[in-house]
């Protein structure tokens, strides 16, 4: 059985989602897990988001050590972790889950011409808010909305007469992405309600 299959079967069996499996030099095997997400149903209040705890990582670590030993997988060190604040987005469910969040995307090929010439022709990296678009035929499309204008610095007064920043949007398909991650935005004022 392949390493990916062993890890995925074990992690899913414990009730977690497998985000990533990385094998590094020196025998390090790094596994990233997350709490499964279910799309909220209409009319039902959403449950508060759950996060991976140290106990979750410990539970997965113990079970994986046993499973990898039984299958004879060679590794020197096993590391289990949560996806963190810059979580990779790989599957459609990941994009569904983080609609409205700020993300960083890297395209496989530049798409400057597709943005109406407002974007540098060789630009591949974008940071903005993820939006989900639904077509008349029910097809789902994705776009990222951003402004190249810098955000005002904290504590600086902003005039009410100041014009709103010009927003730009870029539609993309998941197969056009080289990489997509949550933007690591840290707010020291606590979580929003």
What's the pLDDT score for residue 191? 61
Cα separation of the two ends of the chain? 45
- pLDDT (tens, 9 = 90+) of the chain, 193 residues, equals 688 899 999 999 999 999 999 998 888 999 999 998 877 777 767 667 778 999 999 999 999 999 999 988 888 999 999 998 899 998 888 999 899 999 999 999 886 555 455 666 788 899 999 999 887 787 888 999 988 787 778 788 888 887 777 888 888 888 889 999 999 877 777 666 5
Please give the backbone phi and psi of residue 114, each rounded to the nearest 5 degrees, phi first: -70, -20
pLDDT at position 138: 77
Provide the CATH number for the domain formed by 92-149+164-182 in this structure.
Answer: 2.30.30
pLDDT at 148: 79
3-81 folds as Alpha-Beta Plaits (3.30.70)
In the block, which residue shows the tokens 């899913």? Answer: 12
In the structure encoding, which two tokens stand for residue 89, read together?
């987005």
**Between the CA of residue 168 and those of 143, 160, 175, what are the distances in Å?**
10, 22, 21
Q: Are strands 77-81 and 28-34 parallel, antiparallel or unpaired?
A: parallel
Domain with CATH 2.30.30 in the chain: 92-149+164-182
| DSSP secondary structure letter of residue 154 | T
Region of 155 (left: φ > 0; alpha: ψ -120 to 50; beta: rest) is left
Token code pair at residue 33: 């897990």
> Could you give the CA distance from residue 37 to residue 181 in angstroms, rounded to a whole number?
17
Q: Which residue has the tokens 């060190």?
A: 77
Q: Is the dihedral of CA 53, 101, 155, 125 positive or negative?
A: positive
Q: Single out the residue of 138, 135, 145 nearest to residue 183, CA to CA.
A: 145
Q: Check: pTM over 0.85? Answer yes or no.
A: no
At 2 the pLDDT is 86
**CATH 3.30.70 residue window(s) in the chain:** 3-81
């Amino acid at each position: 059985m392949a390493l990916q299959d062993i890890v995925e079967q074990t992690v899913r069996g414990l009730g977690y989602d497998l985000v990533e499996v990385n094998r590094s030099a020196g025998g390090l095997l790094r596994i990233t897990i997350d709490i499964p997400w279910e799309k909220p149903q209409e009319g039902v209040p959403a449950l508060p988001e759950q996060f991976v705890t140290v106990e979750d990582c410990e539970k997965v670590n113990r079970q994986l050590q046993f499973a990898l030993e039984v299958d004879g997988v060679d590794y020197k060190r096993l590391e289990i972790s949560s996806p963190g604040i810059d979580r990779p987005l790989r599957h459609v469910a990941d994009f569904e889950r983080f609609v409205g969040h700020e993300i960083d995307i890297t395209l496989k090929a530049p798409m400057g011409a597709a943005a109406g010439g407002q974007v540098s022709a060789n630009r591949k990296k974008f940071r903005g808010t993820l939006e989900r678009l639904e077509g008349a035929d029910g097809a789902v499309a994705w776009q990222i909305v951003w402004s190249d204008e810098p955000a005002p610095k904290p504590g600086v007064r902003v005039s009410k007469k100041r014009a709103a920043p010009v927003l730009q949007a870029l539609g993309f398909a998941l197969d056009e992405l080289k990489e997509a991650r949550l933007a690591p935005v840290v707010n020291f004022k606590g979580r929003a309600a």
